[in-house]
Structure formats: C-alpha cells, structure tokens
Structure 1
Amino acid sequence: MRIQVLPLLAAGLLVVGCGGAEQQQPETTESVTGKAEASQNPEGPAPESGGSMIVSYEDAQTPEAVRGKELLQGDQVLEDMADDINDTLVLPYDIPLLGVQCDEANAFWAPDAKTVTICYEDTANSEQIFADAGDPDPAAAAINTEWATFYHEVGHMAVTVYDLPITGREEDVADQLAAYVLLQPDEDGQPDPESVQSVKDFARVFGVSGEQRGEVGEADLADVHTLDEARMYNLECWIYGSDPAANGDLVSDGRLPEDRADGCEAEWDQLDNAWSTLLDPYFK
C-alpha cells in the first residue's frame, strides 16, 4: 500500500507551528473555524467537519477503460487517495471520488456536482505512454502519475470548497498543489521517493503530450492550461527547487535548463509558503 503523504504534511505543519501553536491532538471544528477567521481568506469561514471523500467505481466497457479500472481498483488506488484526504482535511460535506469510463483520457473536479473524477482511460493512456518509452514497470509509473493527477484535482477542489484566494490561472495553481503535497519531507526530513517519482512521471507525461501535439496553434495558446512543455518544466523546477542536492541530475542530464534551475529554490519556497498558508486552517 502506498505511503500516505497528506497526513505527514499536516502533522509537520502543526509541529512547526505554521499558522498555529504546536498540537498533540487533531484540532476540533471550533479551533479550525477560529483559525480560518484570521487566515488569508477572512471572508470564507472554515467548513464544518461533517464530510468525507467517498470512493465509487463505475462500470467499464471499452478495452482502455477496463484496463484503467483494473489498474486503479486492483491496487485500491482511489481508496488510498480518499483515505489521505479523510485523514487530513476538514471537509464540509461528502465529496465522491469517482472512477469512471469517460471515453477520453481525462480527470476533473466538477464544482457544481462537488465530485472528483478519475477517468479510467487516463490511467490506461499513461501506462501506454510509459510502455512505449520502454519503462520497466509502466503500470507502476501510470499509478504514480494518477497520484499527481489526483492532487491536481484536489487543488481545484480546495479552491472551490474553501473559497481560496488565488492569483494566476487555476490550472497552474492546481499543478502547484500536486507538487506541494508530493514533495514535502517525511519524518526523516526527506521526501518519500515514490512521491517524488510521481511528480517526475507526471512531468514525463506532459513532455510526451507536447511532442505528440505538434505545432502550437492559437487554440493551444488560448487554452486555460499552460502548454504541456511548460508544465513539464515547471514540475521539474519544483522538484529540483525542493531539494537541489538530491535532484541535481535534472540539470546535469539536460532536462531542466540551468537558467531556469537558478531560480527554482526561490520558486519552491514561494509555492511552499503560499499553499501552507492557504491550507493551514483546514488541516485536521
């Protein structure tokens, strides 16, 4: 079973006192509400602790969907994802986490329905990408990618559920949340290697997607998403910035240009501080 990262993140924030005093027990709803009133989002009260993330797998019929469901359900991936959220975040209401045949490779947060959807085809497509690249374990790499995809959607979810103030495009902010969670240090002061690999594999998928797209057109430039290649470099920058000594190969191997790498530690520090400030009132 995968190591859960958000509970460790929340515990770490409470110990170092980011936005609150040291705690030995999870905060009550009353204390979370009080912190929210003094947070960076004074007009958005903290939600009452009355909800959970609930997993549901829908039927799959096409070969791609069947394979994606097999990968997700066989390893209980969605269950682990939901446990991570339920152990850590105060939710105001139940939020379904759905495994669904979408007939396209996708994942999304639906703000009206208040659901997170992971499309089976997204997992199957990632597995195929890694298989074509000669990865020794494309299934594991695909699941790694889905963890980063999930936290990207959690970024969208958090903006909606907690009415978070953000500056910049929400898709970029959601990428930041995924990196923020997965690159946090463990109890030993180092990030979980599997979590770091999730961000690396997420970046690799964007690199392949950019290559497959071909020439950039007007629709690509106008899209709410940053170009795939730029998203890849952003993620690699944050990986490097979070621990330059451990991830120097990104620069030495030529995957991350040196000019960008020079500022990545500062980028990571800004990202880390921003999301710590925004989410601190909502950790259990």
Structure 2
Amino acid sequence: MNVRSCLRKWPIWLATLTAGFLVLLHAWQGTAVATFPPTSQIAQAGGQFQVAYGPVKNAEFAPFRQVMQESRLYETIAEELNKVLRLPTDVTISLAECGTENAFYSADHKSIVMCDELLAYFGKLFAPTATSDQDLGESMLYTNLFVFFHELGHGLIDLYDLPTTGREEDAVDEFSTILLLEAGTDGEKAVLNAAHWFALQSEQQSEDLAFWDEHSLDLQRFYGIACLVYGKDPEKFSDLVKDGLLPEARAQRCGREYAKKSQSWDTLLAPHVRS
C-alpha cells in the first residue's frame, strides 16, 4: 500500500473523528458529580492545553505533519478539553521529531509528545496487511489517536495526582479504550486498530520477552482491549468470541469489567470536570 497516497483522505477522517470526539466530550462534561466539592487548586486552575509543532528535518515526515497541522485535529481536541477539564497548569501537546518511534508524557515539562517517527512506524507496520490505501491510512491515524489518549491518561494521573492500582500503563490503556469506545464508530475503529497493532507486534516479539518493562506484553494488551470492547457491547462485538480472538472464559467477565473500569474513571475525573 502507498502510505503517501492515503494522506489525501486524511482530512475527511480527521473531521469525522473530531466530530465524534466533540460529542463525547460534551456528554462527559455532563457526568460531573456535584457531591465532589472543588479543591482550592481546582477552583483556581487556569491551565490550558495548547499545541506546538517542532521543526521537520526528515522529509519523510513532512506530508504527515502537513496534514495534521492543516486539519487542526489537535487544536480542536485541545480547545474542547479546555472547555471540559480544569487544569492546574498549562499542558503542551507537541508534535515533534524524537529520534525514536515513541510518544510520551513528560511530567517535568507537562507535555504530551507525539513523535513523527511513531506515525511513520505505523505505516510500515500496517502496510503488509492493509487492503487499500484507505485501510492503511485509517490504521495509521486511528492507532496514533489511541496512543494520544493513552498519553493523555498519563497526564491526567500526574496533573490530578490520581490514585492507580496495578500498572499505570494498563490503567491508561483502559482510559484510552473507554474514552474512544464512547466516541462512536470512529472511536471504536481507533480501539480495534490499536488492538491490531499489539497483535502484530506480538508476532514480531523475540523469545526474550521484556518481563521487566512497565508495559504489559503486547498480547496481554491486546486481550485487555478486546475484553473492554466486548464488554461495552457484547452483541455488536460478538465476532471477537466467535472468531476465537477472545476466549469465552474471559468474555464472561468483560461486561462487569467494562462497567467497573468506566465508572472508576468517571469517579476519578468528576471533581476536575467543569460544571
């Protein structure tokens, strides 16, 4: 598949996903629980999400960056997040060359960094299994957005000093999954493409697995996402079980798991949502 040719359709997909995301954010805003009194820090919060673009030195990344900037996807997301969340300080969403295939939240700089190399990596990863340029473009874009909301989860845990049990990486995988599943069809595509990403990476892992890493293994992350997807709507996503992608023994618990984790995030974020 031709990665560059898929860029022509990206603005359409970006606009569609953005529209669904905005609907979700306004619905999320309505879930604030009045019984949580705002702390003095929250009441005085004046921080905002803002977007910054680093220089593009590698010509390979220029087409991707151009589309992302012209679409104003991250600016739109930042604007809507600012309407919904009270921040104690400014947070920068930065698109940059990093020298490695990565994305991360920096607690020191209060920034979410989305690396150009990661988007290019997704192009190479999904190209062999893509059925068309459109399929490839969607896989790249949607998976990148899953990563963004994963990093946003890290940011919110830091900014609000939220408690987590177990691995923080698992918690923010769940945050990104739940948030996107509630955003409609495009959000569901983002989550399913992220699951596909972990499945493909698991096939490429060597026998010397990184048990020491803070992330769960790719196949574990795949099953965690698949369970939440199925738990959100067992009827709609019944093929996950029928096709053997999610074991029936695990699927039986997924409805309760989704409800519990979704409510937990709602409860944690409620004091920080603007009324």
Distance in 1, Cα, partners of 2:115 & 2:37: 36
Over residues 232-254 of structure 1, what are the superposed CA-to-partner deviations in whole Å (9 max), with x where a residue is unaligned?
A: 11111101101111111111122
Which residue does 1:73 correspond to in 2?
69
Q: Does 1:170 align with 2:168?
A: yes
TM-score by length of 1: 0.83
Cα displacement (A) at 1:14: 5.7
Q: In terms of mean alpha carbon deviation, does 2-11 or 151-160 score higher?
A: 2-11
Output the TM-score relative to the length of structure 2: 0.85
Long gaps (5+) in structure 1: 22-33, 38-43, 185-190
Counterparts in 2 of 1:14 and 1:120: CA distance versus 1, 3 Å: closer
Matched, 1:251 2:241: yes
1:131 aligns with 2:127: yes
Instruction: Return the alpha-carbon distance in structure 2 between the equivalents of residues 74 and 129 of structure 1.
Output: 25
Alignment-derived partner of residue 19 in structure 1: 33
In the alignment, the residues of structure 2 paired with residue 135 and residue 103 of structure 1 have an alpha-carbon distance, to the nearest angstrom, of: 30
Question: Do structure 1's residue 266 and structure 2's residue 266 form an aligned pair?
Answer: no
* Residues 1:121 and 2:84 are matched in the alignment: no
Matched residue type, 1:193: T
Deviations for 1:241-282, whole angstroms, at most 9, x for unmatched residues? 011111111111222222211111111011111000001111
Instruction: Find the aligned partners of 1:126 and 1:194 in 2 and give their Cα distance.
Output: 18
> What is the root-mean-square deviation of aligned Cα atoms in Å?
2.2
Equivalent position SS for 1:105: coil
Equivalent pair of 1:109/1:153 in contact (CA under 8 Å) = yes
1:154 aligns with 2:152: yes
Counterpart CA distance in 1 for 2:247 and 2:109 is: 41
Pick aligned residue for 2:205 from 209, 213, 216? 213
**Partner SS, residue 226 of structure 1:** coil
Which amino acid is the alignment partner of residue 27 of structure 2? Answer: G
Provide the C-alpha distance between the structure 1 equivalents of 2:120 and 2:66, rounded to a whole number of angstroms: 9
SS class of match (1:139): helix
CA contact (8 A) 2:32 2:273 kept: no
SS of equivalent to 2:140: helix
Shift of residue 80, structure 1, vs aligned partner:
3.0
Identify unmatched segments of 5+ residues in structure 2: 1-14
Q: Give, in angstroms, the shift of residue 47 of structure 1.
A: 5.8
**d(CA) in 2 for partners of 1:87, 1:53:** 10
Measured after TM superposition, the shift of residue 48 of structure 1 is 2.8
DSSP 3-state at the match of 1:113 = coil
User: In 2, distance between residues paired with 1:278 and 1:175?
Assistant: 16
**Deviation at 1:201?**
0.6
Mark the CA change 1:129 to 1:266 in structure 2 (over 3 Å): closer, same or farther. Answer: same
Q: Does structure 2 retain, via aligned residues, the 8 Å contact 1:64–1:120?
A: no
Task: Tell me, in whole angstroms, the C-alpha distance in 1 between the residues paired with 2:221 and 2:203.
Answer: 13
Q: Counterparts in 2 of 1:202-241, with a 5 A limit?
A: 202-217=194-209, 220-241=210-231
Pick closer, same or farther for the CA change 1:47–1:253 going to 2, 3 Å. Answer: farther
Q: Is the 8 A contact 2:51 2:94 kept in 1?
A: yes
Asked whether the 8 Å contact 1:242–1:265 carries over to 2, the reply is: yes
Matches of 1:47 and 1:128 in 2, distance apart?
Answer: 46
Structure with more of its chain in helix, by fraction: 2
Shift of 1:165: 1.1
Instruction: Compare 151-160 and 128-137 and name the one that shifted more.
Output: 128-137
Higher mean alpha-carbon deviation, 77-86 vs 224-233, is at 77-86
* 204-213 vs 75-84, greater mean Cα deviation: 75-84
Instruction: Return the match for 1:112 from 103, 108, 115.
Output: 108
Q: Answer yes or no: is the 8 Å Cα contact 2:25–2:80 preserved in 1.
A: no
Structure 1 residue 193: Cα displacement: 0.4
Partner of 1:103: 99
